[in-house]
């Protein structure tokens, strides 16, 4: 049976050979500068995945920016290692190679990285989107998570504008202004994301309601599509998502409703449904870390409070043929207010929990998983990604219904 399995495995893999181009050999030619620094990246997937592609693009951009500053780097990648011992092995390998920095592109990798990072104090290990590295006793392990909720809020405005347009055209009534959201897990990162999206929509369409359904996975194309369809069946007319594939967008197109994306521009796969996407641009962070190390500085333990104002959070091109009239202007105005500090996404006067305004929401700052350290709410708003970069907004606000809460 094992033999048969090997044969089949080999056969399928040989078939996929066609896709293997001669990538990765571009670094040999740069011999003009005195030194080329090695930088590693541990990837949860590979070039085929939208999520990882977002990181490669940023890595390439960072390489160019650094070259202009006289810093030559060479990226080395490992693929398809989401967690566990393979990640530790990758980190060891990069550490041995003398990499000055290693970026881990998914939060599940942090545990494994922390088991070996202490062996390579000269290498900075950056666990992106997690929060255990900043509070451990190793100086060379850090965290980063740009303020994606700002981008989500802006795309929420686009969704709200679409709802308003549909109400005006008589396609739906005010009570039928329902948003849908395909969520991964009931994790603070996801809760923060869908709440900021909803608040953006509500800021322009006060009657908007939202349904959230969780799929129990960060990416599962079939499940994401089924869930989107389920939300549409329950009356959602604009859908957004916190999951890795583009199937919710294509499902929306098929069902004739609208869609707001995440990570990448989805208007190519769903030109009649996709309005806009929000995305994290990691270029700035890569440049910051590498430049700091090369210049002998200390990399911040946590990369907090970097969002729209720094260009770390971006929106993809607005799909004008689908977006409601005036969307671009509304987004631009809100963006300016956020950048100027006039508008706070989690303004406590704009939402309630069980009918009451919230004044207290404590954070866990010492990694004991008990949120009892700092009150994130002050000056009338929840300070998301201010005390620590990882999203922590975990309140279940009124107007959002969770279809399931099993995950």
Partner 1 sequence: MEEKVPFVRVTRRQDFKKSSVWMIRILAFVIALVLGCFVFLLCGVSPLQAYAEIVKGAFGKMTGIRQTVKIMIPLLGTALALAPCFKMKYWNIGAEGQITMGAIGAAFFAINFHDKLPGAVLLAVMALAAMILGGLWSAVPAFFKSKWGTNETLFTLMLNYIAIGIVAWLQGGPWEGKEGSQIVPNFASNAILPKIGGIYCGWIIVLALVFFMYFYMNRTKHGYEIAVLGDSENTARYAGMDVTKVIVRTALISGAISGLVGFMLASGANQTIYSGIAANNGFTAITVAWLSQLNPFAMVLISALLAGLSKGSSSLKTAMGVPGSISDIITGIILLCLLGCEFFINYRLVFRHKEEKNV
**Which one, 187 or 318, has the nearer CB to partner 1?**
187
**Which one, 118 or 221, has the nearer CB to partner 1?**
118
**Which one, 82 or 399, has the nearer CB to partner 1?**
82
**Which one, 119 or 233, has the nearer CB to partner 1?**
119
Spacing of C-alpha 67 from chain mean position:
27
Spacing of C-alpha 297 from chain mean position:
27
**Which one, 85 or 233, has the nearer CB to partner 1?**
85
Sequence-separated (6 or more) residues with CB below 8 Å from residue 175: 207
Torsion of CA 119, 125, 131, 133, to 10 degrees: 30
Least separation in angstroms between CB 83 and partner 1: 6
Least separation in angstroms between CB 204 and partner 1: 29
CB 338 within 8 A of CB 345: yes
Least separation in angstroms between CB 186 and partner 1: 5
Least separation in angstroms between CB 389 and partner 1: 14
**Which one, 9 or 222, has the nearer CB to partner 1?**
9
Smallest CA-to-CA distance from 101 within 141, 58, 130 is with 141
Q: For residues 125 and 113, what is the distance between their CA atoms, to the nearest angstrom?
A: 8
For the beta carbon of residue 359, count every other beta carbon within 10 angstroms.
10
**Which one, 92 or 375, has the nearer CB to partner 1?**
92
Least separation in angstroms between CB 158 and partner 1: 27
CB 81 within 8 A of CB 43: yes
For the beta carbon of residue 362, count every other beta carbon within 10 angstroms.
14
Smallest CA-to-CA distance from 335 within 212, 154, 168 is with 154
Query: Binding residues for partner 1, per CB under 8 A?
Result: 2-3, 6-7, 9-10, 13-14, 16-17, 19-20, 22-25, 40, 46, 76-80, 83-86, 88-90, 92-94, 96-97, 107-108, 110-112, 114-115, 131-132, 185-191, 364, 369, 394, 407
CB 44 within 8 A of CB 107: no
Least separation in angstroms between CB 78 and partner 1: 6
Least separation in angstroms between CB 176 and partner 1: 31
């Amino acid at each position: 049976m094992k033999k048969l399995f090997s044969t089949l495995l080999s056969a399928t893999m040989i078939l996929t050979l066609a896709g293997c181009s001669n990538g990765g050999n571009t670094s040999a030619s740069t011999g003009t500068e005195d030194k080329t620094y090695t930088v590693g990246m541990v990837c949860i997937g590979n070039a085929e995945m939208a999520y990882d592609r977002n990181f490669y693009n940023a890595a390439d951009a960072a390489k160019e920016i650094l070259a202009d500053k006289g810093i030559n780097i060479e990226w080395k990648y490992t693929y398809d290692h989401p967690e566990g011992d393979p990640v530790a092995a990758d980190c060891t390998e990069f550490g041995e190679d003398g990499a000055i920095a290693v970026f881990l592109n998914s939060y599940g990798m942090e545990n494994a990285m922390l088991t070996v990072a202490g062996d390579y104090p000269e290498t900075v290990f950056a666990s992106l989107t997690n929060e255990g590295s900043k509070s451990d006793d190793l100086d060379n392990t850090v965290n980063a998570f740009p303020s994606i909720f700002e981008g989500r809020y802006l795309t929420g405005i686009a969704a709200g504008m679409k709802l308003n347009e549909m109400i005006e055209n008589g396609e739906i009534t005010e009570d039928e202004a329902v948003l849908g959201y395909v969520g991964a897990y009931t994790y603070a990162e996801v809760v923060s994301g869908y709440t900021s999206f909803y608040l953006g929509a509500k800021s322009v369409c006060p009657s908007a309601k939202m349904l959230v359904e969780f799929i129990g996975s960060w990416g599962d194309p079939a499940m994401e599509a089924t869930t989107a369809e389920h939300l549409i069946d329950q009356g959602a007319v604009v859908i957004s998502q916190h999951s890795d594939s583009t199937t919710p967008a294509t499902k929306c197109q098929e069902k004739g409703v609208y869609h707001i994306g995440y990570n990448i521009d989805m208007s190519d796969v769903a030109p009649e449904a996709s309005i806009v996407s929000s995305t994290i641009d990691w270029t700035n962070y890569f440049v910051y870390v590498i430049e700091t190390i090369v210049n002998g500085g200390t990399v911040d333990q946590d990369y907090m409070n970097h969002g729209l104002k720094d260009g770390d959070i971006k929106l993809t091109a607005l799909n004008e043929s689908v977006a409601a009239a005036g969307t671009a202007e509304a987004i631009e105005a809100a963006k300016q207010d956020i950048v100027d500090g006039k508008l706070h996404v989690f303004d406590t006067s704009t939402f309630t929990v069980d009918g009451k305004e919230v004044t207290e929401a404590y954070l866990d700052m010492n990694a004991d998983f008990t949120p009892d350290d700092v009150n994130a709410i002050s000056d009338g708003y929840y300070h998301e990604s201010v005390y620590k970069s990882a999203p922590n907004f975990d309140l279940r606000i009124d107007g959002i219904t969770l279809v399931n809460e099993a995950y």
